[in-house]
Amino acid sequence: MQTGLIGLKGLMRERGLTYRVAALRAGMGVNTLCNKINGKSAFTAPEMEALAMVLGIPSGQIVRYFFPGMDRVKAEVPQD
């Protein structure tokens, strides 16, 4: 399974969504969505939530798709 911004493009293809249709359903402009998926600008939290709903991304997997590489980062918990 592809994740990250490339994974978003893959999900759009799998679901038969064009940039235009995905943007419309997510309440975004087409150019805005294109720029964000291509890494030219960052998604806002509401945009991530809207696009995740359009693409059917479960809330537990949003990090994998919108923050590439972050799902592999392990938080270090200080020991007392």
Provide the domain limits for residue 62: 4-67
In a domain, 26, yes or no: yes
Instruction: State residue 7's pLDDT score.
Output: 85
- What is the pLDDT, as a whole number, of residue 80? 61
Query: Is 77 a domain residue?
Result: no
Number of separate domains in the chain: 1
Residue type, 36: K
- 10 in a structural domain: yes
Cβ neighbourhood burial of 33 (10 Å; 0-12, 13-18, 19+)? buried
Yes or no: say if 36 and 42 are a contact pair by the CB < 8 Å rule.
yes
pTM of structure: 0.78
Percent of the chain with pLDDT over 90: 59
In a domain, 80, yes or no: no
Which CATH number goes with the domain that contains 47? 1.10.260.40
pLDDT at residue 66 tops 90: no
pLDDT greater at residue 63 or residue 31:
31
Report the C-alpha gap between 18 and 70 in whole angstroms.
Answer: 27
Judged on CB neighbours under 10 Å (0-12, 13-18, 19+), 3 is buried
